[in-house]
Amino acid sequence: MRTDTPVTVYRKDYQPYPYDIPHVALAFDLAPEATEVRCVMQVQRKADASADAALVLDGEDLELVSVAVDGQPLAADRYHQSEHSLALYGLPADASVEIVSRCKPAANSTLMGLYVSGGNFFTQCEAEGFRRITWFADRPDVMSRYRVTLRAEPAYPVLLSNGNLVASRQLPDGRNEVEWEDPFPKPCYLFALVAGNLTHRETTVKTASGRDVLLQVYSDPGAETKTEWALDSLVRALRWDETRFGLELDLDRFMVVAVHDFNMGAMENKGLNIFNAAYVLADAETATDANYEGIESVIGHEYFHNWTGNRVTCRDWFQLSLKEGLTVFRDQEFSADMMAQDMDEAAAASARAVKRIDDVVTLRAAQFPEDAGPMAHPIRPDSYQEIGNFYTATVYEKGAEVIRMQHTLLGEAGFRAGMDEYFRRHDGQAVTCDDFVAAMESVYVRQHPGRDLAVFRNWYRQAGTPRVTVKLEHDAATRRVTVTLSQDCQPVGVEKKAPAGFVKAPYHIPFAIGLLDREGRALPLRHEGAERETALLELTTQTQQWHFDGIDALPVPSLLRDFSAPVIVDYDWTDAELALLSAHDSNPFARWEAGQELATRQILSLADARQAGRTLHADPAFIDAWRALLTDPSLDAAYRARALALPSEKTLAERMQAVDPPALAVARDFLRAELGRQLAAEFRQAFDDNQTPGEYSPAPVPAGKRALKNLALSHLMAAGEHEAQRLAEQQYEHAGNMTDSMAALSALINYGQGEFPQQALAAFYDKWQDNALVVDKWFALQAAARYTTVQTARELMKHPAFTLRNPNRARALVFQFCLNNARGMHHPDGTGYAFWAEQVLALDALNPEIAARLARALDNWSRFVPALRTPMQAALQQVRGHEGLSRNVQEIVSKALE
Ligand code: SER
Ligand code: ZN
């Protein structure tokens, strides 16, 4: 049994490490059953450290073979090994410490440290995986230069590590040996090695300063036909970082390797990024538009980490958002720039809005619930039990919003100046979020004499989603509009346990606003010496007022344009005002938002009716608003597909007093079908007008057409039109790409009649059974299907292709069912929750990090309707009571039950 006692670590307890470890030499004798690792560290006591400071190293699941100092075996009384640490005493101020240990890669199902996947060796060290490879100071503020020797049988011809290849030879015993040297000091979480039988695609490009650099993408033999998009994306990312941020690749060689067993999306190891294959492999036949977009964005993300994460890294893991929030912001901007390139101004603005909408949809579905639940934490947490549990939507996505607000406050040029200053001050260091804000502030105070970012720092200190209440008054005599903004943020998560008298401080909220007259025309706003359609109000106290003059009548406000801050807006628009904004707002984001608010009201009122047992009716005014959007010729297809998408159950749930997912699912389904019936002709027209014949391209314009066409198809199918099924069958049989194929198959299995849908599903598997990523799609489609019950999910788990050991497969079936199948999961008989508990425990025995992610599916149980709340609580208690639970899962379920 594991003895995984949870220990809480606090940010305030940070202490510098007493030793520097400037150099590390690692030698690996790679073998799946037992790999021997020799680690030679140059260890130097810091000048200000006490002379008797022990050298305390971390280790997990390692067998210690030997310890030596300066070439001599260390006497047994000079070191002490406990469960997770090794302490060495009485070291000279400058010593060479050699530790030999063994680990077991083939038996490592945690996918942290060194493990085997598909017969090859891979590593994952962030956050604390390096301690599963060798005893080391496993913390990001210890930075070392690495020299790595890899020795392996010829069955592993490709041997990779960070930096540059400096030697390669065959050993007398027939094994191969290579040496890699990374010229840049790095924390151990950025260490990586890959060994195995791999193929690659490569290209050489010239950097801005004229250096030739080799870019390579490695994959399983046979998959080299699917790495072109990833390699092209890498070239685009390299160029973009040079152009937009003046940041150049600092290595001669940059490698990306695809692996099928991986806990996260990808990892930015210096010069050797290791990727979940789902974010590398793509071709038209097997990857969807969303897959292409995801690959480009994750390739960008990991590449951008080379500066924001690797050159400047985190002092401790509480600072995770320093690199993640910033790098997500950078990848979002990269994607937006790629989508908008080669477009005219209006099309580019729409493409950017589409990207912004997609990012905000993600934030609201994943981060807002987190910020309102038991795991709520500031983007820079104050404590954790298991850092693996803090790779969250808050640290990443809200963290990116906090960076974006600084970008908004400083402007593009100001932000760039702040970034330059950040690198000037901190290149080569391990720093804090405060250091980042200080660099930005140095620019902000020059731009805005008398102001600073003191209040802004509360975004890093406090959790929860602030609520901004808006009041609008008009004085006819003075033709003046007065806007009053008030903010409020209730204590959440750990803040609720704060001592009495704890009051949250106000935030610095950049709040973009526009005003429309009653015909929908934009009113010019005079603000801070300029006249514009959009005014950026900086709310820094609890309540503030602004005046706008020369306005004849009470206008309709367009609020939080472009989602200028991660807040919830309270303003009581009438439905007619929302319809006006939805039809006329010149800010495409706010225009989308108005339509979404209308749809939200509509679905919530349908869910109410459903709960009260009343007949469901759609409001004709809502149908009219949707018709207007669907048929507006000025809107491109990608934008229309977003504008017409019904808000997700996760977003809607945040608006319910007591969450009732099945009622929401029924309401959404009803509305989808009703729209399909009442707008049948318009949807059919959109379906016909947005076909994309010819060769497949994942570019935004054809992808947008497919999105709209397939949205139309789903409405027509939901409405039960016979003709629609014919269209879906035809599309399925003739689809030239995976997007159309999946969309048709999804519509068919969810709404189709007769035998075709299930036959198509079976044929789909037969066709793609050798492609793991497509088989994942096949499982995911069924796991989320309307007809899928717990029983169906259990049957699917018996399929020979199913395994919990592969995280992508577990996500495709188990996570998909538990997180996205409202009816099957949230059944009042509690069988969905019992299934969840079983799977959490089964996964925990294999891979605690993945188990803890699934555990979070019941975070917000206390906000559900009583009939669901009770069995949810019981399931959580069952998991908490299980003996031998990992500390990862313990932290999640105990916080949920607190
Ligand atoms: N550092 C990694 C990333 O976000 C963790 O998955 O890119
Ligand atoms: Zn990242």
pLDDT digits (tens, 9 = 90+) for 699-732: 999 999 999 999 999 999 999 989 999 999 999 9
Q: Scanning the structure block, which residue is given the tokens 């804000």?
A: 437
The one catalytic residue in 98, 177, 302, 577 is: 302
Mean pLDDT of 243-247: 98
Which among 304, 391, 394 is the best mutation to test ligand 1's pocket, defined by most ligand atoms within 8 Å of the CB? 391
CA 46 / ligand 1 centre spacing (Å): 31
Q: Identify which ligand lies nearest to the alpha carbon of 129.
A: 1
85 bridge partner residues: 58
For 770, counting Cβ atoms within 10 Å of its Cβ (0-12 exposed, 13-18 middle, 19+ buried), the class is exposed
d(CA 122, CA 105): 9
Cα separation, 392 vs 383, in Å, equals 14
How many angstroms separate the alpha carbon of residue 429 from the centre of ligand 1?
19
Give the model confidence (pLDDT) of 194-215 as tens digits. 999 999 999 999 999 999 999 9
What's this model's pTM, rounded to 2 decimal places? 0.99
Residue whose entry in the numeric block shows the structure tokens 């096949």: 778
Cα separation of 463 and 394, whole Å?
Answer: 9
Q: What is the pLDDT of residue 721?
A: 87
Tell me the Ramachandran region of residue 90: left when phi exceeds 0, alpha when psi lies from -120 to 50, beta otherwise. left
What's the mean pLDDT in 333-355? 97
| Residues 6 or more apart whose Cβ sits within 8 Å of residue 671 | 599, 602, 603, 606, 618, 646
Atom of ligand 1 nearest to the CA of 305: 7
Determine whether the shortest distance from the Cβ of 126 to ligand 1 is under 6 A.
yes
Compute, in angstroms, the gap from residue 324 CA to the centroid of ligand 2.
5
Instruction: Determine whether the shortest distance from the Cβ of 266 to ligand 1 is under 6 A.
Output: yes
CA–CA separation, 667 and 655 (whole Å): 14
At 32, the amino acid letter reads: P
- Are 305 and 327 in contact by the 8 Å Cβ rule? The answer is yes
* Cis peptide leading into residue 95 (ω within 30°): no
Nearest ligand (C-alpha, residue 330): 2
Residue 854 in contact with ligand 1 by CB distance below 6 A: no
C-alpha to C-alpha distance for 773 and 731, rounded to whole angstroms: 22
Question: Mean pLDDT across the stretch 396-424?
Answer: 99
C-alpha 728 chain-centroid distance: 32
What ligand 1 atom has the least distance to the C-alpha of 323?
1
Q: Are 716 and 680 in contact (CB under 8 A)?
A: yes
C-beta separation of 177 from 168 below 8 A: yes
Span 84-131, pLDDT tens digits:
999 999 999 999 999 999 999 999 999 999 999 999 999 999 999 999
**Ligand 1 touching residue 264 (CB < 6 A):** yes
Average pLDDT over residues 802-818: 98
Q: Whose CA is nearest to atom 5 of ligand 1?
A: 267
State in Å: Cα 308 to ligand 1 middle.
12
Among 267, 270, 392, say which to mutate for ligand 1: greatest number of ligand atoms within 8 Å of CB.
267
Closest Cα to atom 3, ligand 1: which residue?
267
Cα–Cα distance measured from residue 839 to residue 864, given in angstroms and rounded to the nearest whole number: 22
Alpha helices by DSSP H, listed for 569-619, are 575-584, 588-611
Ligand number with the minimum distance to the CA of 111: 1
For 302, residues 6+ apart whose C-beta sits below 8 A from its C-beta are 256, 266, 267, 268, 273, 275
**Cis-peptide into 707, omega within 30 deg:** no
Instruction: Check residue 494 and give its pLDDT.
Output: 86
Of all protein residues, the one whose alpha carbon is nearest to atom 7 of ligand 1 is 267
Cα distances (angstroms) measured from residue 57 to each of 25, 41, 54:
16, 11, 9
Tokens of 177: 């040996």
Q: How far is the CA of 262 from the centre of ligand 1 (A)?
A: 11
* Cα-based torsion angle of the residue sequence 639, 644, 646, 652 in order, rounded to the nearest 10 degrees: 60
Asked whether 293 lines ligand 1 (CB < 6 A), one says no
115 token code pair? 């493990």
Strands (E), 220-308: 253-259, 266-267, 272-276
Instruction: List Cα–Cα distances, 514 to 96, 161, 589, 853, in angstroms.
Output: 65, 53, 12, 40
Mutate to test the pocket of ligand 1, among 302, 397, 853 (most ligand atoms within 8 A of CB): 302
Contact between 295 and 279 (Cβ < 8 Å):
yes
Contact 267 CB / ligand 1 (< 6 Å): yes
Is the shortest distance between the CB of 324 and ligand 1 below 6 Å?
A: yes
Ligand 1 and 607: CB distance under 6 A? no
Task: Please say whether the beta carbons of 195 and 32 come within 8 A.
Answer: no
**Ligand sitting nearest the alpha carbon of 112:** 1
Q: Give pLDDT, residue 745.
A: 98
Mind listing the pLDDT tens digit for each residue in 489-540? 999 998 988 888 888 999 999 999 999 999 999 999 999 899 999 999 999 9
273 touches 249 (CB < 8 A): no
Probe ligand 1: pick from 112, 122, 126, max atoms within 8 Å of CB?
A: 126
Q: 576: burial class by Cβ within 10 Å (0-12, 13-18, 19+)? A: exposed
pLDDT of the residue at 502: 83
Residue 142 C-alpha to ligand 2 middle, in angstroms? 20
Does position 3 have pLDDT exceeding 70, yes or no?
A: no
Q: In a mutational test of the pocket of ligand 1, which residue from 259, 280, 305 has the highest number of ligand atoms less than 8 Å from its CB?
A: 305
* Stretch (H or E) spanning 717: helix 700-718
**291: pLDDT strictly greater than 70:** yes
The reported pLDDT for the residue numbered 1 is: 40
What phi and psi values does residue 703 have, to the nearest 5 degrees? -65, -40
Q: Which atom of ligand 1 is nearest to the CA of 301?
A: 7
Residue nearest to atom 2 of ligand 1 (CA): 267
Contact in structure between 218 and 203 (CB atoms under 8 Å): no
The verdict on the CB of residue 844 being under 6 Å from ligand 1 is no
Q: Is 397 in the pocket of ligand 1 (CB under 6 A)?
A: no
State how beta strands 556-559 and 55-58 pair.
Answer: unpaired
Task: Please give the distance, rounded to the nearest whole angstrom, from the Cα atom of residue 264 to the centre of ligand 2.
Answer: 10
How much distance in Å is there from the Cα of 297 to the middle of ligand 1?
12
- Ligand (nearest to CA of 126): 1
Q: Which ligand is nearest to the CA of 269?
A: 1
DSSP state letter for 387: G
- Mean pLDDT across the chain: 98
DSSP output for 355-386: HHHHHHHHIIIIIHHHHTSTT---SS-SEES-
Testing ligand 1's pocket by substitution, the residue of 188, 256, 268 carrying the most ligand atoms inside 8 A of its CB is 268
Beta carbon of 322 within 6 Å of any ligand 1 atom: no
849 CB within 6 A, ligand 1: no
How many angstroms separate the alpha carbon of residue 23 from the centre of ligand 1? 25
Ligand 1 atom showing the smallest separation from residue 265 Cα: 6
Q: How far is the CA of 265 from the centre of ligand 1 (A)?
A: 7
pLDDT of residue 503: 87
302 lines ligand 1 (CB under 6 A): yes
Whole-number percent of the chain with pLDDT over 90: 98
Asked whether 190 lines ligand 1 (CB < 6 A), one says no
Ligand 2 center–CA 332 separation, angstroms: 12
Q: What's the CA-to-centroid distance between 174 and ligand 1, angstroms?
A: 37
pLDDT per position as a tens digit, 57-84:
999 999 999 999 999 999 999 999 999 9
**Residue 656, number of CB atoms within 10 A of its CB:** 18
Cβ atoms of 177 and 171 closer than 8 Å: yes
Q: Is 302 a catalytic residue?
A: yes
Nearest to 816 by CA among 761, 857, 846: 857
Atom of ligand 1 at shortest range from CA of 302:
7
CB 410 within 8 Å of CB 433: no
